[in-house]
């Protein structure tokens, strides 16, 4: 985990170089749409579609691999509350809820965050391609996942 230090709050740890920590502490302005003691939600300034919202824990963690159970729970509760609001406010046909973890998965800002992306028919945002497993490969990969601690 990055070097963290408390600033603007003696109980929440922040990375002084993290843009999302700077947003959470008010150093950098953002269009906030929801906030409580644990999380902050704000509009993404480079949205996939208008209304694209980011939900972050106020405490700095990098991603799913370092976020605490409590912070993840608080983020997901905020997502549960906000997803229907984003959908209604944007008159979207649906929403995607996405968390990118590590650079190969598309993570750009290394502070845990979840995207709520309003979706519209023919909006041009594409999903990943589907693949297939070779003979016996699904069972082997399933066994390897189950064996991890």
Q: Are strands 13-14 and 5-6 parallel, antiparallel or unpaired?
A: antiparallel
Query: Which one is catalytic: 14, 60, 111, 113?
Result: 113
Q: What's the rounded Cα separation, in Å, for the pair 139 and 120?
A: 37
- Contact between 19 and 109 (Cβ < 8 Å): yes
113 is catalytic: yes
State how beta strands 32-35 and 53-57 pair. unpaired
Report the C-alpha gap between 36 and 50 in whole angstroms: 23
| Residues 79 and 117 sit within 8 Å (Cβ to Cβ) | no
Please report, for the chain, how many H helices and E strands are present, in that order. Answer: 3, 7
Strand extents, DSSP E, 44-148 = 53-57, 94-98, 114-119
Q: Which residues are catalytic?
A: 113
């Amino acid at each position: 985990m990055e070097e963290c230090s408390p600033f603007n709050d003696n109980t929440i740890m922040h990375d002084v170089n993290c843009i999302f920590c700077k947003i959470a502490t008010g150093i950098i302005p953002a269009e906030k749409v929801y906030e409580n003691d644990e999380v902050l939600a704000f509009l993404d300034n480079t949205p996939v579609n208008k209304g694209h919202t980011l939900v972050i824990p106020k405490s700095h963690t990098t991603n799913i691999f370092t976020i605490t159970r409590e912070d993840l729970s608080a983020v997901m509760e905020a997502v549960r509350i906000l997803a229907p609001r984003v959908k209604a406010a944007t008159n979207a046909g649906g929403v995607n809820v996405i968390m990118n973890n590590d650079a190969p998965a598309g993570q750009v800002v290394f502070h845990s965050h979840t995207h709520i992306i309003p979706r519209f028919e023919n909006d041009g945002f594409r999903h990943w391609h589907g693949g297939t497993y070779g003979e016996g490969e699904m069972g082997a990969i399933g066994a390897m996942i189950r064996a991890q601690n």
